[in-house]
Amino acid sequence: MSALTNAEVKENIRSFFKDPRHWTYQYGTPTPSCNPNSPHHRKQIEVIFEDKYFHWVTNRAVDSLVDEGFPGLEKRDIAHFVYRSDIRYIRREINRRAKIISRYTDPTITKAIGDLHKCCFFMFRLNGFRIVGEDTNEYRGLRWEETGHDLDFIIEKDSIAYGVEVKNTLPYMEEDELKIKLKMCEFLGLIPLWILRNAPAVQFEQMKPCNGFILKFKTQIYPPGQEPLIRDMWEIMRLPVSIWKKNT
């Protein structure tokens, strides 16, 4: 990602709210339900622009545009929506998107999304790793007691032990959690291995001193049976989501 000024980022996001030919509407298969006349929730914009800007850079630019009165802002308990200020009759489209957010933040769905680590369990086994522990803070007689955190997995292969974290979320892994988990791995004598939907460059850099690494899989993964939800999240909100099946 190149170092751009806040003004340049703001102009790109302003164009997103004005130009139907903006690049964000063209990648993949364009969908008529997501366009400059649509409302967008703030986290959605961060994810849409994440290949160009870090989430916090986009968020800062949106803040600045809102302060200038472009775009408008409507705060809901479930999300804050922004939209071009000259659009009338926007409430129905906001309600439509709020219902989609309610669907994918339902506890049943979030639990299913979080169960990606079960797929990782089998992936490790198929690739010859030995799973030493799951949801654990102990390894070879050492126990992490500084905080109440666990590692998703501890695995071994070729006499090397790894501490594994799996995050199937649209936002980045929280910085405080990342630092704690790195300290845990150092204390337990493990190489950090994070399996994340996405991560900023700074988190890749934080892995280097401990020889750790991040595997990034880009699209948030949902279980089979959620095809209608996935379709709405993509067609209406342009969120990077997919369903992984055995042959994916």
22 and 36 Cβ atoms separated by less than 8 Å: yes
pLDDT of residue 4: 64
Token pair 């704690």 in the structure block, residue: 180
DSSP code of residue 148: S
CATH of domain 6-100: 1.10.10
Name the token pair of 27.
Answer: 């990648």
Name the token pair of 191.
Answer: 């190489």
* Domain spans in the chain, listed from the N-terminal domain onward: 6-100, 116-221
194's CB contacts (< 8 A; 6+ apart) are 164, 165, 166, 167, 173, 178, 181, 203, 207, 212, 213, 214, 215
Which portions of the chain are predicted below pLDDT 70? 1-4, 245-248
What is the distance between the alpha carbons of residues 76 and 102, in angstroms, rounded to a whole number?
Answer: 12
167's CB contacts (< 8 A; 6+ apart) are 173, 194, 195, 196, 197
pTM: 0.89
Domains 6-100 and 116-221 share a fold: no
DSSP code of residue 161: E
Name the token pair of 211.
Answer: 């020889």
Count other Cβ atoms within 10 Å, centred on residue 21.
8
Question: Which of 3.40.1350.10, 2.60.120.260, 2.170.150.70, 3.30.365.10 is the CATH number of 116-221?
Answer: 3.40.1350.10
Residues 51-72: tens digit of each pLDDT: 999 999 999 999 999 999 998 9
What is the distance between the alpha carbons of residues 238 and 247, in angstroms, rounded to a whole number?
Answer: 24
pLDDT of residue 248: 45
Determine the residue type at 205. Answer: E
165 and 182 Cβ atoms separated by less than 8 Å: no
SS3 234: helix
Provide the β-strand partners of residue 139: 142
What is the distance between the alpha carbons of residues 243 and 248, in angstroms, rounded to a whole number?
Answer: 8
Residues 196-206: tens digit of each pLDDT: 999 999 999 99
